[in-house]
Amino acid sequence: MNRTRMIVLVGFMVLVVAGVGVALFASDLSGTGAQNVGSRPGNATAAPAEGCPATRSNPGGDNNYIPDAPPGEDLGDGFVIQGVVRQAGDCRPLPDVRIQVWLATRTGGESDNRTSVRTDAQGRYRVETAPTVAQFGEPNIHVGYDDDAYEAVFIRNVVDLDDTAATIDLNLRPR
C-alpha cells in the first residue's frame, strides 16, 4: 500500500472513531431514552413540570407488561419506588389510577417482581421492593399505565446499584 493511501485510511479511521466517541458522549447511558431516576436518601417527589406535558413512553418500556394485572403487594424491602400521577395539561392529581411496577431484584427477574397499585387521593403511589439488580447491563425499573381513561404509558428508567429510592411521576393524556 502506498504512503498516500495509508494516510487517507488512517485519517478515515480517526474520523470514524471520533464520530463514534461524539455519538456516545451525546447519548444517554442506556441508549433507550431511559433516564436515571434513582436517589439515595430522598423520598420527596419533585414539583410537576410547568404545564405537565404528557409523559411519553420510551423504547422497551412495555417489556413484560401484563395487561389487567391484579393488584399486588409490596415486593420486599430496601428500595422505594414512588411517584405522582397527574393529568397532562392541568396537573390535576389522578386518584384511584392503577399503576403497574416491575423490575429485577436479587429475589428474581421482572416476571417475579411485579405489582399493580392504585394511586391515593393525591395521585401518589408507592411500592417497597428489594433493591434492583443489573439486568441487560443496568438496573432498571418499569412503570406502566394501560387502562381506558388515558393513553397508555410505559416507562423504563434506570437507577444506580447503591440507590435506595426512585421517583417516577406520570402525566397522563386523556383518550
Is residue 125 a contact partner of residue 93, using CB atoms and an 8 Å limit? no
List the chain pLDDT tens, one digit each, 175 residues.
687 777 766 666 656 555 443 333 333 444 445 555 555 444 445 555 678 999 999 876 677 788 877 787 788 889 999 999 999 999 999 999 999 999 989 888 888 888 999 999 999 999 999 998 887 788 888 999 988 899 999 998 888 888 899 999 999 999 8
C-alpha grid cell, residue 170: 406520570
Is residue 105 a contact partner of residue 131, using CB atoms and an 8 Å limit? yes
| CATH no., domain 38-172 | 2.60.130.10
- Is this prediction's pTM over 0.75? no
Residues in the chain: 175
C-alpha grid cell, residue 51: 404545564
Using one digit for the tens of pLDDT, what is the confidence trace for 133-145?
887 788 888 999 9
Neighbour tally for 23: CB within 10 Å: 9
The DSSP code for 45 is P
Domain assignments of the chain as residue spans, ordered by start: 1-30, 38-172
Residue 86: the pLDDT is 96
Residue 47: the pLDDT is 57
Residue 101: the pLDDT is 92
Residue 24: the pLDDT is 35
Residue 80: the pLDDT is 94
